[in-house]
Amino acid sequence: MNSNAAQKIDVDLQSEQGVDQYLTFYLAGEEYGINILKVQEIRGWSEATPMPNTPESILGVINLRGTVVPIVELRSHFNLPDAPRGPTTVIIVVKAEEKNGNQRTMGMVVDAVSEVHNIAATDIQPAPQVGDAEDQPAIAGLATMEEHMIIILDVDDLMINRVLGMADEEPTI
């Protein structure tokens, strides 16, 4: 059995047991996590080509092996202060799913990738509701790991509904 097949079996077994794997990363000193099944790849930082008339949090696009991929500046989207790009700055390329089942490939700029954690669904607590729900950044919950908290993000809600603003759009036929 090759290592890819072994990894898939491991992920499938963990999901059956209510445990999912989350890729964690840092943004402005806080640790965030996204379901690893949403991650396509992690790339080193490279400048994006700016596009006119796009939301402020979209830096532009990159060419990923022939696919044009929009790049989201999460610091801007979450109203966090700007910071210079460093050697640990990366782009996490994710697959976000629209309500009609279509998938969109998008990239998220983060300060640094941390590690992959196995987190049980029972270890994820709901985030406290502060202010208007529409203004909240797609937080799926909070997980406590060894004395610190990880903010778990919902990639589909974040990228499709919040960044692209497609929450109320009808699916294209």
Q: What is the pLDDT of residue 1?
A: 47
- Domain ranges in the chain are 20-162
Strand pairing class (103-110; 67-73):
parallel
pLDDT in tens, 24-44: 999 999 999 999 999 999 999
pTM: 0.81
pLDDT in tens, 122-132: 999 988 877 66
Query: What is the C-alpha separation between 71 and 9, in angstroms, rounded?
Result: 31
Q: Would you place residue 2 in the very low, low, confident or very high pLDDT band (cuts 50, 70, 90)?
A: very low
**What CATH architecture applies to the domain 20-162?**
Beta Barrel (2.40)
Which of residues 20 and 146 earns the better pLDDT score? 20
